[in-house]
Amino acid sequence: MNKLRSWLTGFFVILVLLIVLLGILLFVVNQVQQSVEQTTQKALSPLTEANNQLNTQVADLLHPTPTIIPDPTSIIHEVRSLARLETIQYSVEKVIRAEEGQESIPLLFGDKLIFVAHGTVIAGIDLEKLNDNDVKMDGKMLVVTLPQPEVFVTRLDNDRSYVYDRETGLFTKGDSNLETQARQIAEQEILKAAQEDNITDQARVNAENYLVRLFRILGYPDVRFTYREAEISPTPQP
């Protein structure tokens, strides 16, 4: 009985030793295999990189990157689509005094009012006036000849304009056209104030800043602007 136990004990010990040796052998084989693979990859890496570069060069030859040069004439149509380029708006307030019948007896026949006018003046460049000859290439520089800036709109703000005060004589109900005349004069004075503040010069600067950004988006980083000579209106014949 004791012999049997001794034999079984020896058998299990040998079996455990075999399992441990087998595990060590598998670990060594795995490490050797990984080492061989890493060595092979390092050895083939220059060849693989050279092959990739060759493939890239062949692809560049077979499918070269196109060079696209925008046609200046197409830019004319892009710009024309903007029509009137409104680049600045002035808000102006003017006080207008209008009166009539003051030469005789104002207390009896006079009519006067004070009109507070609020209005806006909008200026810019009319791009509809561009033609094909106004956009040219000078080397790598895009040269654009623009029309002169102009005032597009002068209008009263009826919601904010009002008659502040009105006095009429004892024997008159007042002229119904006096306020209309005051409004007309107010519109002229609002335009005059904007012109005296050089609204068209500011419209020119704003237009150039806007168009420079537009042309850069269209592929023209270098842009120079010139302007047509100001048109002189003919003198009316008597």
DSSP string, 72-130: HHHHHHHHHTT-EEEEEEEEEEEEEEEEES-SS-HHHH-EEEEEEEEEEEEEEEEGGG-
Q: If you search the block for the tokens 């030859």, which residue do you land on?
A: 61
Supply the pLDDT for residue 5: 59
Supply the pLDDT for residue 79: 52
Print pLDDT tens along the chain (238 aa): 555 556 556 656 666 666 766 667 666 666 666 765 666 566 546 556 655 665 565 455 444 444 434 445 445 555 555 578 888 999 999 888 877 655 555 555 457 888 888 999 999 999 889 888 898 999 989 999 999 999 999 999 989 988 888 776 555 566 677 788 888 888 998 999 999 999 999 999 999 999 999 999 988 999 999 999 876 544 434 3
106 burial class (0-12, 13-18, 19+ CB within 10 angstroms)?
middle
118 touches 90 (CB < 8 A): no
**Phi, psi dihedral angles at 151 (to 5 degrees):** -85, 125
Token pair in block for residue 226: 């010139």
Residue 96's identity, in one-letter code, is I
Helix (H, G, I), strand (E, B) or coil at 70: coil
Domain coordinates of the chain in residue numbers? 72-227
Supply the pLDDT for residue 37: 64
Of residues 97, 104, 146, the one with CA closest to residue 125: 146
Supply the pLDDT for residue 33: 67
What is the rounded distance in angstroms from the CA atom of residue 189 to the CA atom of residue 92?
A: 9
Task: Decide the pairing of beta strands 162-168 and 111-126.
Answer: antiparallel
